[in-house]
Homo-oligomer: A and B are copies of this chain.
Amino acid sequence: MTRYALTLEWDGTPYMGFQRQAHGPSVQQAVEEAAASVVGHAVTLHAAGRTDTGVHARAMRAHFDSDKALPPFRLSEALNARLRLAGHVVAVLDCVEVGEDWHARFSCTGREYEYVIINRRAPLTLEAARAWRVARPLDEAAMHAAAQALVGKHDFTTFRSVHCQAASPVKTLDRLDVRREGDRVLIGAAARSFLHHQVRSMVGCLALVGRGEWPVGRVAEALAAKDRGKLGLNAPPEGLYFIRATYPGE
């Protein structure tokens, strides 16, 4: 048995997220079908994180096991060829053999997302479905200041989807920073793990601060309330990118 670890990039637009769904296409199904056709038997793909419909990945880490021993480079080339042939917008950026104690989800000790806002009046063309357009001017310094109240170990109930399956709403947010590059406002978030919708919910509230609709302190109040009803806004999925998963010894 060989365990292959993949680094995946995808355009989230046509997928119902990473996880297999009965009612629509998923990244998991796309890669599992490509892998099955290469190795000649059904495989199960495990990823560092789930993602929602429309959410992108720059470098998701995943793995599957196979009876077939193939040079990893040949495997990644074959997977990419099959994914393209099937019309998928998923690419294998890297493929390596790992030990059986390495698990894409359970060994992962850190996850990072980036959220891309384009802060301008005009509709998006080149970045359509790649960013959230916010027309009103955003004060990124106020957003960054408000974000710092969320960093640390907290009960994130306010920023959690009603569909979240995590055992506890308590998470430790390692980093939440906001910076501007021209008309782009970029929000980086890092944690060991996140609740369902947590990043989009945090970004939505920061955008309200940026537009001047919420005072900076209201984000801390919303957190303290531990009440989903206090959430201001859930940012749309198309601005969200899973950008990094970290593992011990890397």
Contacts and interface: CB of A to CB of B under 8 A. Distances in A.
Interface of A: 9-11, 56, 58, 76-77, 80, 83-84, 89-93, 120-126, 128, 130
A88 to B, nearest CB: 8
Contacts of A126: 9-11, 56, 58, 89, 130
Number of copies of chain A assembled together: 2
A128 B80 contact: no
Nearest to A241: B126
B11 A91 contact: no
A91 B124 contact: yes
A122 B91 CA distance: 6
B122 A92 contact: yes
Contact of A84 (B91, B121, B123): B123
Contacts of A84: 123
B122 A93 contact: yes
Contacts of A9: 122, 125-126
